[in-house]
Amino acid sequence: MEQDSILQMQHITKTFPGVRALDDVTMTVKRGDIHAICGENGAGKSTLMKVLSGVHPFGSYEGRILYQGEEVTFANIRASEEAGIVIIHQELALIPELSITENIFLGNEPMKGGLIDWHTARKRAIELLARVGIDIDPSIQIKNLGVGQQQLVEISKALSKDVKLLILDEPTSALNESDSENLLEILRGLQARGITCIMISHKLAEIAKIADAITVIRDGKTVESYPVVAGQVDEDRIIRAMVGRSLDQRYPEHTSNIGEVVLEVHDWRVEHPAIPGRLVCKDESFYVRAGEIVGFAGLMGAGRTELARSLFGHSYGIFQSGRLSIGGKDVKAQNVEAAIQAGLSYLPEDRKVLGLNLLDTVKRTIVSANEKAILRGPLLDSAKEVQVAEQYRKLLNIKTPDVGVGVNTLSGGNQQKVVLAKWMYPDPQVLLLDEPTRGIDVGAKYEIYKLIQQLADEGKAVVVISSELPELLGITDRIYTICEGRITGEMATKDADQETLMRLMTTTEAMA
Amino acid sequence: MSKENGIKGGLKQVLGGDLRQFVMVGAVIVALIIFQILNNGRMITSSNFQNIISGNAYVFTLSIGMVMVIILGQIDLSVGSVAGFVGMTVAITASEYGWPWWVATLGGLGIGALIGAWQGFWLSKMGIPGFISTLAGMMIFRGGVIWMSHSISRPAPEELSWFGAGSLPEWGPNTGLNNSTLLLGVIAIAAVVFMQLRKWKRLATAESKPPLWPVIVRLVVIVGVIGYLTYLFGSGNIGTSFPVPGLIVGFLVVIYHIITQHTRFGRHIYAVGGNKAAAALTGVNVSRTYFLAMFNMSILAAVAGIMFIGRSTAAGPSDGNSWELDAIAAVFIGGAAVSGGIGTVVATIVGGLFMAVLNNGLMLYGVSADQTQVIKGLVLLAAVAVDVLNKQQGRPSIFSRLSRKKAAPAEIPQEQIATESAA
C-alpha cells in the first residue's frame, strides 16, 4: 500500500519560541483520497498545513516530507504550488475589486509577446469555472459573488495551477447548507479526476459524508490516523480523540453562590453586517443569574462573539429584534456608552485589535471605560486616576513598575489583566468575557480564573466565551452550546463532558 | 528604576521623562546660536524675536488644531484656504458693508465654525477621509476667496492690527523693561515652579520620595530661559513688548494642552487615533470625536486668518497659500505619527518654533525664499528620519529580549498558534 501514497509527512516537529506547535506528527495521505484532519482550535492543524505548503519553509521545522515518493524542501508557497500543492485558506485570498479571470490568473497570467493574453485567460477561466460547475461571466468582479461562489473561484484558481494535492482549510465554515453540499459534491468530482484533497474541518457531519481517511491532531500530536469508508464514520470516535486530554488541576476550586436572574435575553435576532439576510443570531434566548458563571461553548464562527457584541450596545451586526433586561429592567442600549451605563461590560476576544490602544499607558487604559468617575468638573483628575490604577494593579497583581508606562511594555497576561481591570472599573452587573485567557501563559490563566470567580462572588453575572472546553468545564456553573447562530444546548457544568459539548457544538439541530 | 549613575543618568533625571521635548528645545536654541554667529548678532535681538513670534503666530495657531486632527489619524489640507477665506470675509464685511470691526470679526469666527461643521460632516457622517474632504475644501475656499474678492486685496480693520502685531501697554514704575512683559514673565515663572513642585509632590509616595535636586536643576534652567526671554522681549524699543499674537498663541497652547491631556474629549482623540475599533468598544463616540476635531480646526483656521490680516493690514486673495503645509510640518517635526495616536500640542509648538527660527535665520543670512524652501524640506525629512531611527534604537536590545523571554516563555508562540484558528 505504501507505493500509492502521494504524501508522507514524517516526524514533523515545529517549535515556536517556547512552545511546541507540532510534536512528531506523522501522517500519510493516499493518492486520490479525501483526507480529513480534525482537531480543536489551536491543536496544530493549520501549522501542519503551513509546513506542508512552504509557509513555514524547509529548515524551520524538523522531519521529512515525502511528496510523490521524493523528499521535498519547499522554501515558500510558490515552490509548493509549482509542485502541485495548493492551499485554500479559511479567509479567501481573492481580491474583491478584480474580476474572476484576473483573480484566477493572478501571478500566473498567460503571456503573449510580453503582454497578458486576456483572450486566452478568459477562455481558460470559462473552462475552469465549468469544471467546478458554475456558469457565470468571468469578467464579473469578485465582490459581486456570494461566499459559496467565491470558494469555487478559489478552487478554479487552484485547478489553473495544475493542482495534484488540494488543501482546504475549513472550506465550509462560511457557507450555508446548500453551498456546502455543492462544495462537497465538487470535491468528489475532483477526486474522480485523481486530485487528492486534504480537508481541515470542524463539521463532523461533512467529514462523515466524504472522508476516506481521518487524522486527528491534539496538542500538536497525531492522536489517530486511519482509513474510513465514506458514510460509515464513527463520529464519537473522532470527538473522543479530539478532546481526549485529561483535566488536571488547572482550575481553582470554587463554590458558587447563585442568586436571582440578572441578565435575561429573549429571542435575540441579529443580521450579519455585510451579508443581507444572513442571520448570525437566530432568535435565541438565555439567562444568567447573579453569582453565576455561564459558559458559551462554540467553535470559531459559531456566533458567540457576534451575540455578545450585539448585546453590548449593538456593536456588531444589524439588530433586528429581541429583548434584553438586566436586573429586571429592560435595556435598550443602542451604543456602547449606553450599554456600559446599563451595567454591561464586554471584554473583546482579540486583545490587540479590539481590547487595547497599544500606544496608551496602563493608567489611562484602566480608567478608559469609566472616565466619568474620575472627572472633577470638566477635567480628569490625574491624581485619582493614578490612585484607581494603583488599586487595580494591586488587586489584579499586574506586573508593572509604574502605572504610567505604556501597555505595550507589558506581557500578554498582564495586558489582559489591564483590559480586565478596565472592564471591572465601571462596576458592571454583567460581564461578557470573550476568550479571556487566549494567548496567555498557564500561570496568568490561573490568576484570571480566580478573578472571574471573585467577580461572580461579588454577585455579578459572568458569561465566559471560550473555545477551550476544559476551561469552560473547569470554571463555569452552566454551559450553553452555540452552533451557527443557534443555542443548541444548555446544561449544568457538572452534567457536561467534552464529548457531549462537542457534539452539540457541531450540530445545527437544537435540542428540545 | 532610575538608579542610573554618572552624568548621563543625572542628565536624564534632570530632563525628566520627556526627553524628546527637551532635545527639541535644545535644537531650537542651537539653531538660534548658530544663526546668531552667522548673522553677526542680528538673530537674538528684541525686535527680531518679536518679529519671529508675531510673524509666525498664525502657523502656531493652525498647528495646534492640526496636531489634534493628526493624532486622530486624519489630516486637514484646507486650513490655509479657510484662513484666507475668513480673513477676506472679515475685510470685505468691514470695508465694504461698513460692519464694525468686532462684528466683522465675530462674523468671521462664525463662518469658521460653519466651515468646520461642513468639514466635520463629511468625515464623521459620510465617512469620507479627511484627506479627500479637506482637499475639496482647500479648492472650494481658495476658489471662494478669489471669487469673492475679484482677486483684489481689501484693507483690514485697523483695530485688528493689535491682535496681529500689537504690543502690550507700558505702565507703572520705570524698570527699564516693558512692565507688561515683565508681569507675563513673572506669571510664567510662578506657574512653572508651581507645576514642577506639584508634580514632584505627587510622585512622592509613602514608600519613596524622588530626589528633589533634579527638579531644582530643571527649574533653574527653565527659570533662566524664561527670565532671559522676558528681558529680551521687554527690552526692545519703547512701546514694544512681548507681541499680542504671541500672547494669544500662549493662551491657546495652555487651553489646548489642558483639553488634549485633561479632558475626556482629549483622551478620546488619542483613543480613536490609537485604535479606532478598541475606542468604539470602550464607549467612545468615534464620529463625534471626528466631528469636533475638524470643527475645532476650522475655527482655529479662522483665528489664524484674522490674526494674519491684522498684521498685514490687508486681506489678499492668496493669503493662506500653503499654510497647511507649514502647520503639518510643525506637527511632524514635533514628533506626531502619520498613523495617528501620537503627538502633543506643546511639542508641536516647539516644532513650529524650530521651523520659524530656521526660516528667519536663513532670511537674515540672505538666503533666497526658494533656497529656504529647499532647506526646510530637507530639515523636515531629517527631523522625522532621526525620530524614526531613535524609535528603532528604542526597541529592546537583544539582551533584554532574551531576559524577557525567560520571564514569560509561552506568550508569543501561543498567540502565533491562535492566529491559525482566528476567524
**Are A457 and A487 part of one and the same domain?**
yes
* Within-domain flag for A287: yes
Amino acid B408: pLDDT: 35
Percent residues over pLDDT 70 in chain A: 96
pLDDT, averaged across chain B:
87
The partner residue sitting opposite A19, judged by closest CB among B275, B281, B413, is B413
Average pLDDT over residues B226-231: 93
Q: Is the pLDDT of residue A357 over 70?
A: yes
Find the closest chain A residue to B259 by CA distance. A379
Clarify whether residues A212 and A131 are in a common domain: yes
Contacts of A357 in chain B (CB under 8 A): 270-271, 274-275, 278-279, 341
Identify the band that residue A434 occupies on the pLDDT scale cut at 50, 70 and 90: very high
pLDDT confidence bin for B5, thresholds 50/70/90: low
A235 — pLDDT class (breaks 50, 70, 90): confident
Report the pLDDT value the prediction gives residue B156, as an integer from 0 to 100: 93
Q: Which amino acid is at A256?
A: S
C-alpha distances in Å from residue B19, one per residue of A241, A294, A363, A409, B30 = 57, 49, 21, 18, 16
A467 assigned to some structural domain = yes
> Does residue A149 sit in the same domain as residue A277?
no
Beta pairing, strands A34-38 & A62-67: unpaired
Nearest CA to CA, how far is B169 from chain A (Å)? 34
Contact between A73 and A62 (Cβ < 8 Å): no
The whole-number pLDDT of residue B6 equals: 62
For residues A46-68, give the mean pLDDT: 89
Q: C-alpha cell of B31?
A: 539653531
**What is the predicted pLDDT for the residue at B421?**
35
pLDDT of residue A18: 58
Residue B21 is predicted with a pLDDT of 77
**Residues whose CB falls within 8 Å of the CB of residue A480, separated by 6 or more in sequence, listed in order:** A286, A294, A295, A296, A297, A487, A489, A490
The model's pLDDT over B141-161, given as tens digits with 9 standing for 90+, comes to: 999 999 999 999 999 999 999
Last residue of a domain, one of A427, A447, A482: A427
Judge if A175 and A270 occupy the same domain. no
What mean pLDDT is predicted for residues A332-336?
Answer: 91
Which residue, chain included where needed, has cell 435575540? A268
Whole-angstrom distance, CA of residue B25 vs CA of residue A137 = 64
* Residue B2 pLDDT greater than 80, yes or no: no
In a shared domain, residues A143 and A98: yes
- Residues B281 and A428: their CA atoms lie apart, in Å, by 15
Work out the burial of residue B261: count CB atoms within 10 Å of its CB; fewer than 13 is exposed, 13-18 middle, 19 or more buried: middle
The residue count for chain B:
423
Question: Could you tell me if residue A271 is inside a domain?
Answer: yes
**Do A406 and A457 fall into the same domain?**
no
Chain B: nearest CA to A380, how far in angstroms? Answer: 5
Annotate B295-336 with DSSP letters as a single string. Answer: HHHHHHHHHHHHHHHHHHSEE-TTTTTTHHHHHHHHHHHTT-
Domain identity same for A178 and A221? yes
Q: Specify the range with the lowest mean pLDDT, choosing from A128-142, A235-249, A469-483, B308-322.
A: A235-249
Q: Which residues contact B22 (CB under 8 A, 6 or more apart)?
A: B15, B16
Q: Based on the fold, state whether residues A495 and A399 are members of the same structural domain.
A: no
* A284 within a domain of the structure (yes/no): yes
> Which grid cell is A431?
460581564
Residues of A in contact with B279 (CB under 8 A): 357
Mean pLDDT of all residues in A414-436? 94
pLDDT digits (tens, 9 = 90+) for A145-182: 887 888 889 889 988 888 999 999 888 776 777 788 88
Residue A2 has pLDDT above 60, yes or no: no
Q: What chain A residue is nearest to B404 in terms of C-alpha separation?
A: A411
Q: Which residues of B touch A298 (CB under 8 A)?
A: none
* Dist CA B114 CA B99 (whole Å): 20
Number of neighbouring beta carbons within 10 Å of residue B86: 33
Contact A441 B258 (CB under 8 A): no
Q: Kindly report, residue by residue over B272-293, the tens digit of the pLDDT.
A: 999 999 999 999 999 999 999 9
Is residue A46 over pLDDT 90? no
Please tell me which residue, B38 or B391, carries the higher pLDDT value. Answer: B38
Domain that holds residue A406: 355-427
What mean pLDDT value characterizes chain A? 87
Interface of A with B in 110-149 (CB under 8 A): none
Say whether A511 sits in a helix, a strand or coil.
Answer: coil
Query: Could you say which of A243, A269, A290 is where a domain stops?
Result: A243
pLDDT in tens, B296-312: 999 999 999 999 999 99
DSSP A245: P
User: What is A88-124 written as a DSSP string?
Assistant: E-SS----TTSBHHHHHTTTS--EETTEE-HHHHHHH
HSE (side-chain half, CA atoms, 13 Å) at B234 = 21
Chain A nearest CA to B291, separation (Å): 18
Binning pLDDT at 50, 70 and 90, where does residue B101 land? very high
Residue B403 pLDDT grade (very low, low, confident, very high; cuts 50, 70, 90): very low
Same domain, A151 and A203: yes
Higher pLDDT, B202 or B272: B272
User: What's the whole-number mean pLDDT along residues B234-261?
Assistant: 93
Q: Check residue B407 and give its pLDDT.
A: 36
Contact A104, A153 (CB under 8 A): yes
Confidence of residue B265 (pLDDT cuts 50, 70, 90): very high
pLDDT band for B395, please (50, 70, 90 cuts). Answer: very low
Q: Report the pLDDT averaged over residues A100-124.
A: 90
- Predicted confidence at residue A149, as pLDDT, reads 86
- pLDDT-wise least confident of A263-272, A435-444, B112-121, B252-261: A435-444
Identify whether A173 is part of a domain.
yes
Beta strands per DSSP E along A68-191: 70-71, 85-88, 111-112, 115-116, 165-169
| C-alpha cell recorded at residue B418 | 491562535
Neighbour tally for B295: CB within 10 Å: 22
Given a contact cutoff of 8 angstroms between Cβ atoms, the answer to whether A164 and A85 are in contact is yes
**Res B419: pLDDT:** 35
Instruction: Judge contact between B115 and B137, C-beta under 8 A.
Output: yes
Give ipTM to 2 decimals. 0.81
From A472, A482, A366, select the one nearest A414 (Cα to Cα): A366
pLDDT, tens digit, 9 for 90 and up, residues B46-91: 999 999 999 999 999 999 999 999 999 999 999 999 999 999 999 9
Q: What is the mean pLDDT of residues A199-208?
A: 83
**A372, part of any domain:** yes
For residue B383, give the nearest of B317, B328, B420 by alpha carbon. B328
User: pLDDT class for B205, splitting at 50, 70, 90?
Assistant: low
Q: Single out the residue in A408, A427, A446 at which a domain terminates.
A: A427
| Residue of A368, A407, A422, A442 to mutate when probing chain B, most B C-beta within 10 A | A368
As beta bridge partners, residue A278 has none
Chain B CB contacts of A442 under 8 Å are 410
Q: Which of residues 482-501 of A touch B (CB under 8 A)?
A: none
Residue A495 DSSP code: G
How many CB atoms lie under 10 A from the CB of residue B281?
22
Given a cut of 70, whether residue B409 has pLDDT beyond it is no
Picking from A511, A469, A473, the residue whose alpha carbon sits closest to that of residue A494 is: A473
Res. B18 pLDDT band, cuts 50 70 90: low
Give me the CATH number covering residue A64. Answer: 3.40.50.300
What distances in angstroms separate CA A424 from CA A368, A382, A451, one per listed residue?
11, 19, 10
The answer on A379 and A303 residing in a single domain is no
Looking at the structure, do residues A65 and A155 belong to the same domain, yes or no? yes
Of B283, B341, B420, the CB nearest to A336: B283
Report the pLDDT value the prediction gives residue A245, as an integer from 0 to 100: 53
- Res A19: pLDDT: 67
B199 touches chain A (CB under 8 A): no
A395 is a domain residue:
yes
Cβ separation B263–A378 shorter than 8 A: yes
A477 pLDDT higher than 50: yes
Cβ neighbourhood burial of A419 (10 Å; 0-12, 13-18, 19+)? buried
Higher pLDDT, B409 or A276: A276
Phi, psi values for residue A215, rounded to 5°:
-125, 130
Give domain status of residue A11, yes or no.
yes
From A173, which residue of chain B is nearest by alpha-carbon distance?
Answer: B423
A110 and A199 inside one domain? yes
**Nearest residue, CB atoms, A412 vs list B282, B405, B411:** B411
B150: left (phi over 0), alpha (psi -120 to 50) or beta: left
For residues A120 and B145, what is the distance between their CA atoms, to the nearest angstrom? Answer: 55
Q: How many structural domains comprise chain A? A: 3
Q: Among A96, A293, A72, A232, which residue's Cα sits nearest to residue A165?
A: A72
